[in-house]
Amino acid sequence: MGFLLRPHALLRLMLLLLFPAIARADFESLPFALRLFLSVDRQSNYSSTLARQASIAALDGGSANPGAVAWSVPVEPTTVVTGSFVDAPSTGGRTVIAAPVSLRWQAQGAGTIALAYAFTQTQNAGGDNGLTQSLRSDEWIGGYGRRLDEHSAAGFTVRLTSGRIVNDASSPALGGALSRNSTRFLAPDVALGYSRDIGKAITLGLVGSYGVARGHTTVTNVAPLLVPLPALGTTLTIPPDTVLALVDDMISTVTLGAGLGLHPDDATALYFDAKALRLSTHHSGSQNLGRFAWGAEHRLHNGLIVRGGVGLDTIGKVNLSAGVGYRATPSFEAQFALQTNAAPELNPELGRTRLLSASLAWIF
């Protein structure tokens, strides 16, 4: 993967010119929930660019581009059912698991219909330090796309995510005592995608998405609070789990992305993706972020596909990944992948996270 890393310094400079520079200290002072949404976007739809599945410019069913998913036009109607499992342990002692399942149906003249559901949950939410940091969510995804002509395709997806985020943190308002922020949220979003080829050697992809997450946060104290009452000469004890505040907020997310694929031969593909993202809230601040990713895949003669990639964003977060796929028969395919530093936005609370994923697909 050395050839992927050589342009690192130059491309990082390009990123800093394209997007506002963000001081790491300032970024890590943002609320946990806001940084969590940025981290989840990194793994949006369980189709990240970095080897787990495919680039915005990849013309297949695993692409992060809704238009590319509709590229294939089978002779006979075809159904693909995929089951996956994602395990993401962190050095802080917590583990996030996810179980996505998807169904894709394609037919000539009818386009492609895609449906998916994903369950996410944090195991051992207290970690090694006893502070609760967790996410529990359900995602429902639906999409449609079709070929526009011989060289292009377009599509869209809609997604509804509901869940709960819990975060323990020291509160200056409580004299440094721990408070617990428990946020329930509902987040609909829509994504549009367009893909095309330029001969056999070049593929292009464009995506855009918009989403709104409405959150309701309950703030409670973790331990008993002692409140002096000098006028009465006594101290009031507030028991744990007392509601101290209720806060409603809304997070809007806008993303724009583009991908370029180079195919020097039928077995090899090189991909480059760029993505700009903006999160805006009413009470928790806003954040702009730019992300670049490079990836490569090569198909071997024995049915194996090897993949690798590197990602970089405007706050200097870097992650690497590698994966392998195996097409045992025309109706069965398996994929495995490993990604390092998979949730760098949450490193202050969780430590470094390693992501392992496996999926099985049946085609009939």
What residue ranges do the domains of the chain occupy? 2-363
Give the separation between CA 231 and CA 6, rounded to whole angstroms: 68
Task: Tell me the mean pLDDT per 10 residues along the chain, length 364.
Answer: 36 38 58 77 47 71 84 88 90 91 90 91 91 91 93 94 91 84 93 93 94 91 86 84 89 91 92 89 80 88 85 84 85 88 85 88 91
- Which DSSP helix (H) or strand (E) runs through 115? strand 111-123
Token pair 């992060």 in the structure block, residue: 64
pLDDT of the residue at 20: 39
Give the separation between CA 154 and CA 147, rounded to whole angstroms: 7
pLDDT of the residue at 232: 79
* Exposed e or buried b per residue across 159-183, where buried means at least 16 C-beta atoms within 10 angstroms of its C-beta: bebebebbbbbebeebeeebbbbbb
pLDDT of the residue at 189: 93
pLDDT of the residue at 207: 94
Token pair 């089951």 in the structure block, residue: 83
* Exposed e or buried b per residue across 304-327, where buried means at least 16 C-beta atoms within 10 angstroms of its C-beta: ebebbbbbbbbbebebbbbbbbeb
pLDDT of the residue at 54: 67
Contact yes or no for 163/120 (Cβ under 8 A): yes
- Place domain 2-363 in its CATH homologous superfamily: monomeric porin ompg (2.40.160.40)
Main-chain dihedrals φ then ψ at residue 282, nearest 5 degrees: -80, -35
pLDDT of the residue at 8: 43
Give the separation between CA 62 and CA 105, rounded to whole angstroms: 13
Which three-class secondary structure state does DSSP give residue 283? coil
Token pair 């369980």 in the structure block, residue: 46
pLDDT of the residue at 89: 93
What are the residues whose beta carbons fall under 8 Å from the beta carbon of 172, sequence distance 6 or more? none
Nearest CA among 335, 358, 363 for reference residue 84:
358
Nearest CA among 51, 137, 126 for reference residue 100:
137
Q: What is the pTM of this model?
A: 0.84
Residue 156, beta-bridge partner list = 144, 192
Give the separation between CA 37 and CA 27, rounded to whole angstroms: 13
Burial class of residue 75 in the structure, from the number of CB atoms within 10 Å of its CB (0-12 exposed, 13-18 middle, 19+ buried): exposed
Which three-class secondary structure state does DSSP give residue 15? helix
* Exposed e or buried b per residue across 224-260, where buried means at least 16 C-beta atoms within 10 angstroms of its C-beta: ebeeeeeeeeeeeeeeeeeeeeeeebebebebebbbb
Please name the residue ranges forming H helices in the chain.
2-5, 8-18, 24-28, 32-42, 66-69, 347-350
pLDDT of the residue at 5: 36
Give the separation between CA 160 and CA 137, rounded to whole angstroms: 10
Contact yes or no for 192/207 (Cβ under 8 A): yes
pLDDT of the residue at 43: 59
